[in-house]
Amino acid sequence: MMELVSVDIGGTHARFSIATIHEDGTITLDEPETIHTKDHASFQTAWEDYRDRKGGSLPSRVAMAIAGPVGGEVIRFTNNPWIIRPALVKEKLGVESYCIVNDFEAVAHAVARVGDDQFIHLTGPDKPLAPTGRLSVLGPGTGLGVAHLYREPDGTYRVSATEGGHIDFAPLDSIEDAILARLRKRHNRVSIERVVSGPAISDIYQTLAAMEGKPVAEEDDIAIWTRGQEGSDSLAAAAVDRFCLSLGSVAGDIALAQGGFGGVVIAGGLGYRIRETLVKSGFAERFKAKGRFQELMASIPVKLITHPQPGLFGAAAAYAREHA
């Protein structure tokens, strides 16, 4: 049995947990602690905060899932100002060993390791994810994470991180043309992350309001999500529906690009929170709407992972694999 600190660092939150890797290879997590990245100047001070919360001591191993490209002498986060220098991790954190992976690389490890009961069905044939071949994994949060997983016939698997969230956004109708036009005023190049991520709901909402000639104040995206999900604001609800359409289009594009024909998995806290809306929305139709490839797209099972902390679980799984 081995204990380590598992950390999942996104643009808004850093989540910490003590992971236990048991003799039979199973992984368990204790109750996670969530720290706001804006409340700390660096990952080291956030680590020290967590250490204090755990009574002043932590295991001497750490697995980190990071929202951004990993590798090189300096790791920079995509949506928060922290940096990590891998060469200094042992010294700064006081640990003996570490593992650093991209956050959606970690999620893909979780997809590979959890049971079928940790998924709910969204669209396509209602069957388990393929036991062999390639699967695509993506999820909206502060940004848009993308990875892929390849399952070998002997039960082993390989995971690759990608930066698929930064491919170009392709509008499919006049409303998405308007969303693109609004975003292009601020960004010369508009990626899918600008439309399919938690903060993107604000631009979608503002675009719909402008189309209807309704003056609305700039506001926090969480408020729009809340009203849209509650149904108390029809314009916010329309923005949520539009988000689901775009997510369906993007998920289908990622599957085509990666060859994720064994299954597509939507991950992330936002995906889980809007799961009921996703099922009732136009997500499924947009996922399949790929012209000559519509029949192929309709054959792909699309699931949503329900494990409460796939990033933390997957980071621990990546550590276990690297230090087996």
Q: What is the pLDDT along the chain (324 residues), one digit of tens a residue?
A: 999 999 999 888 999 999 999 999 899 999 999 999 999 999 999 999 999 999 999 999 999 999 888 888 999 887 788 999 999 999 999 999 999 999 999 999 999 999 999 999 999 999 999 999 999 999 998 899 999 999 999 989 999 999 999 999 999 999 999 999 999 999 999 999 999 999 999 999 999 999 999 988 888 899 999 999 998 999 999 999 999 999 999 999 999 999 999 999 999 889 889 999 999 999 999 999 999 999 999 999 999 999 999 999 999 999 999 987
CA-to-CA distance for 290 and 301, rounded, in angstroms? Answer: 16
Q: Is 260 annotated as a binding residue?
A: no
Q: Is 126 annotated as a binding residue?
A: no
Main-chain dihedrals φ then ψ at residue 193, nearest 5 degrees: -60, -25
CA-to-CA distance for 315 and 321, rounded, in angstroms? Answer: 10
DSSP 216-252: -----HHHHHHHHHHTS-HHHHHHHHHHHHHHHHHHH
Number of domains in the chain: 2
Tell me whether residue 255 is in a domain: yes
Q: Is 155 annotated as a binding residue?
A: no
Tell me whether residue 62 is in a domain: yes
CA-to-CA distance for 312 and 292, rounded, in angstroms? Answer: 39
CA distances from 12 to 81, 141, 179 (A): 11, 9, 24
One domain, residues 96 and 14: yes
Per the structure, the complete domain to which residue 78 belongs is given by 2-102+309-322
- Residues 87-106, buried b or exposed e (16+ Cβ, 10 A)? eebeeebebeebbbbbbbbb
Q: Is 35 annotated as a binding residue?
A: no
One domain, residues 152 and 284: yes
One domain, residues 16 and 44: yes
* CATH code for position 70: 3.30.420.40
pTM score, whole prediction: 0.91
**The two three-digit tokens of residue 132, written as one number:** 């062999």
Q: Is 12 annotated as a binding residue?
A: yes
CA-to-CA distance for 321 and 27, rounded, in angstroms? Answer: 12
One domain, residues 171 and 67: no
Q: Is 8 annotated as a binding residue?
A: yes
Tell me whether residue 232 is in a domain: yes
Residue entry with tokens 């922290």: 82
